A and B are shown apart, each in its own frame.
Chain A
Amino acid sequence: MKFVALRLVRCLGIFVFCLAARDARAQSASLSGFATDRTTGQPLELVSISLRGTGGATRTTVSGRDGAYTMPGLTPGRYVLQATYIGYAAYTDSLELAPGERQLQDIRLEPTETRLGEAVVESERTNGAARVTAGQQVIRPADVELIPAPDLSADLINYLTTVPGVVSTGDRGGLLYVRGGEPSQNLVLLDGMPIYQPFHILGFYSSFPAEIMNRADLYAGGFGARFGGRISSVLDVVSRNGNEYAYAGTATASPFMSSATLEGPIVRGQFSFLASARASVIEQAAEPLLHENLPFSFGDAFVKLQGRLHARGRIEIMGLNTYDRGTVGEDTGGQPPDQFRWRNQAVGVRYIVLPKSLPVTAVARASYSLLRSEQGPKDQPYRISNVRSVTTAIEGTFVSRRMTMDAGWIIQANTLHDELGGTFQGLELRESDFLSSAMYVEPEIDLGAGFNIRPGIRMQFYHVRFDPYLEPRLRVVWKHGVHQVSAAAGVYHQEIVGISDRRDAASVFTVWAGVPTADEAPKDVRSGRLSKAVHTILGYQVSPTKWLDLSIEGFHKEMGNLFVPEWTPFPRLTTRVQPARGRSSGFDVRVEFRPGPFYGYVTYGYAQTIYQAEQANLIYWYGVESMRYRPPHDRRHQVNALLTTTLAGVDLSVRWAFGSGLPFSRALGFDGFVLLDDVMDLSKAPTSRRVIYERPYNGLLPTYHRLDLSIERTINLRPVQLTLQGSLINVYDRRNIFYLDVFTLQRVDQLPIIPSFGIKLAF
């Protein structure tokens, strides 16, 4: 293993050296730069850039995520440079490259009046409900804004809950399960900063308002070597830059949330800022609408400064602060409900540079993330779980004529701090500091005839040992006309796990801990049996007409060394864990259509997730040593439908969601228990209430379905734009169950019909 890792590192070094040496030897020239929007300074990704030489030979490339492009190995001479991008006027320029010259040429594209949605060239579309490539879906702010929500502060989570394979706990709690994985197995990044609990306590909101988004990539599985440390999915959110040339801002108000954004130049054309702040008002304003107490308070603030440090380098500095407070259950037996509080804080810096000496787009980044979560009374929380992580990374995209290669080196230090009172005492916590590093190499090779292959390898070093976990990854795409076949596979490990008591759907408290071990003495992480998953995905996509996209994708996840809460008959929360393994498989079918003034999609997801747990007392309970069961997030069927249109200047949007019932554990009855372990006076013996369970998760909750609609009208009142919105969530007032406490038989439903209205001012 050690030799394989060394060899890979050596190969990478040789590759980079060869690229540099070849260019130097041939005295060839190179061209690089940034592609941006001329009016805002926003980096533009996927701009098609071509160079046509005087002999007619043409080289083409596309800009990357930061708008950067590199074209190495060019023959010195005169060229015509052309850049095209959807919704922008074509850019043309001529240039002369001298032998050995490393010329920098920025491309600033002028937007045209044509709206993006109307001028999409099908082959260049990357986002859309049916545009899924081997588990990866690109989400743009425009996609998010289509989903009906109780206010005008469009939020990424509302889109995520329409994606087949993504199961949410409902409209409160803020937990997402992706294709059989658990919430703590999802890696959520904002500009490379890990965010540990990114979804707000009310299910319509997350830390990611559309106002700050540039794009988000959801990898429901099969993610590439760039990502690691989690075994289920990746949500990689990239924020947009503030406008470099003009000030702009928005302010929204609704009974649920108030928000404001402001952006503008710090140094015109060079540095800009973007600031966003949101605060819930639901506690005060929504109660009269719903006639229901909604004890939630949450909000978030995001700031981004970015600019050009020099001709070849850009810098971005980001900061995020979120807070949540609320109860998700109800009073139980006169006891006050548990209050949950959590706060995410993250700061990060990214430096993007196009080095003169190498055909590389390099990114150096560092970030600090903190999650503080508490359960219990405000001044005396009885459970605390904090995660601090410091991440540094150097990553690069190396470009040659026939392939590009992503490579990087990441170091992450995590500090976990847990104070667990009550019934957590049985949880075995390992050391609280975790240092890990990872190296990855992932070339992207164009094999011709529409084949594109991305084999990757990630070497994950836990505790900085030199025996890495090798995680091979593979992504393959074959495009032929309107058809696309894609596949992905990979091996994933996770060292830090989140443990919650899933018997209780209302418990949003997650303990972050190292994988439990039977013996604390060995420091070798290999004895800790890291959680592991193997993913395989196969998908097919077709666009038979300009207004129709269809896709179907199957997946399988094999998960090992999972840690699930053990079953106990005592009516209390527990995070004592038992080992388990699991598998999840299923498929998604997506149909996206854009006929005339309509846009919409229908998605169906089928998933089957089975866990097999081993627990010492199972043999006494059910007569078996291990038990197969459906975990409580095993939603078998999901349907999501969205229809939007614009009529007489009014935007209409309707969404219907359906989910089959989730498993839960039924009780046969309740009694009491006396621990008879000595000769004693039984009148003084301690007793406990007890649940006589049926087999775990043998019951099914009722199905979930909900219809939402919203109407929006934007009025141009120069210099400001006024948008008015009316919305109805849960139009037919379905009693969707959120939480069923089998201990108290208390049922907590999701929100009833919610009429809401919103107002937005933009300048």
Chain B
Amino acid sequence: MHPLRRVAAILTLAITAGLLGTGCEENVDPVLGIDLPYSVYALFTPALDTQWVRVFPIEGTLKVRTKEKLDATVTSTDVTTGEKRVWTDSLIEGPTGLFEHGYWSDFRAEYGHRYELEVTRSDGATSSATTAVPAQVIASIDPTILAPQVVVPYRLQTDAKHLLEVEVTYQIIRSTDPRSPTGTLGELITLPYDDAVQPVDGGWMVLVDLTTDFDRLRSELVKEERYDPAFGIAIVRVAIDLIVASEEWAPPGGVFDPTIIGLPNALTNVQNGFGLVVSGFRLHNEFVPTDDESKQAGFRPLSQV
């Protein structure tokens, strides 16, 4: 046979065999499987007298879950005291009628204690995580800085590694009629304040910049055509709200963006599984600036309202 013909014949055979080989396969397996038992979400907080854990088995289908019992045992250990607890399963009806599993235990998490959580399948496969509840916080307000800006230093003595969702809420009056439509005095405007948090010895400092905030509030009101320059803005009180969070409760960029933290690997501290086990509590404090502080920052003194 001519060499070229031989090559052509071999090629034809190879292509035909390839086509037949690949062409016979009809089935497809869209799920590769992953050898991890559970995704676990838990929050240990002294703020509640019952703690909850949400447990999702990592499975091969997105099946609609019924009321069947989940093959999982949830236990926790207070590493600080050695106390162990077995949590109780309960069914929670999720979105679109799906049933999900929440495990609960009626205790209040202790400040400064470390907890270990384990979710174990009957075959021994376990997903686990630990979290340390931040110690109780001592909050205080340092003397106000008056120049060049009017800044109120809000000091937190704490071992917490993160402060989350830091917000400053101004209760303000912006007109001669100080009652809001709901009858409360003035109105509330909340400003995000995560960027004004800085670490200091023994904890954190939130610098409440009244001068800058006056501009922010005025811009907000001007934009909504609710600013009366003849009256200005008077402060009734200033509230600071934040979450004192455990070390592992640290979303990328400090923002809870579901498109990012919804990714399985983006924010997890669960060993042999996915999910997030954290601890923390909310802190709330208020103060009222003096008339001088208000005036210097650009506000109308409250006494002149």
Contacts and interface: CB of A to CB of B under 8 A. Distances in A.
A649 interface: no
B139 interface: no
Interface in A421-464: none
Nearest to B61: A745
B236 interface: no
Interface stretch (B93-101, B118-126, B177-185, B226-234): B93-101
B274 A674 contact: no
B53 A621 contact: no
B43 interface: yes
A658 B54 CA distance: 48
A526 B59 CA distance: 48
A647 interface: no
Contacts of B262: 568-570, 673, 675, 688, 690
B130 to A, nearest CB: 16
Contacts of A616: 259-260
A332 B29 CA distance: 19
Interface stretch (B75-83, B147-155, B276-284): B276-284
Nearest to B39: A671
Majority secondary structure of chain A interface residues (helix, strand, loop or mixed): loop
Contacts of B47: 679
A676 interface: yes
Interface stretch (B30-38, B192-200, B293-301): B30-38
A703 B64 CA distance: 31
Interface in A397-417: none
A324 B76 CA distance: 58
Interface stretch (A245-253, A509-517, A691-699): A691-699
Given A679-B47, A744-B62, A569 B243 contact: no
Interface residues of A, number: 57
A677 interface: yes
A675 B256 contact: yes
B58 A669 contact: yes
Contacts of B41: 673-674, 676, 682, 685
Contact of A682 (B29, B42, B57, B252): B42
Nearest to A736: B26
A10 to B, nearest CB: 49
B61 A670 contact: yes
A513 to B, nearest CB: 20
Contacts of A701: 28
A620 B263 contact: yes
A742 B30 CA distance: 6
A685 B58 CA distance: 19
Contacts of A689: 62, 98
Given A658-B23, A744-B62, A668 B42 contact: no
B54 A691 contact: no
A660 B92 CA distance: 45
Contacts of B60: 669-670, 745
A664 B48 contact: no
A246 to B, nearest CB: 49
A24 interface: no
B140 to A, nearest CB: 22
B102 A683 contact: yes
10 contacts: A334-B64, A620-B266, A667-B31, A669-B36, A671-B264, A677-B256, A681-B52, A683-B52, A702-B25, A703-B19
Given A678-B282, A745-B31, 8 more contacts: A672-B56, A676-B41, A681-B48, A688-B262, A689-B98, A702-B25, A705-B23, A737-B26
Name the 6 nearest CB pairs between A and B, nearest first: A672-B56, A677-B256, A682-B52, A620-B266, A671-B39, A674-B41
Interface of B: 19, 22-23, 25-34, 36, 38-39, 41-43, 45, 47-48, 50, 52-54, 56-62, 64, 90, 92, 94-95, 98, 100, 102, 104, 165, 243, 249, 251-252, 256-266, 274-276, 278, 280-282
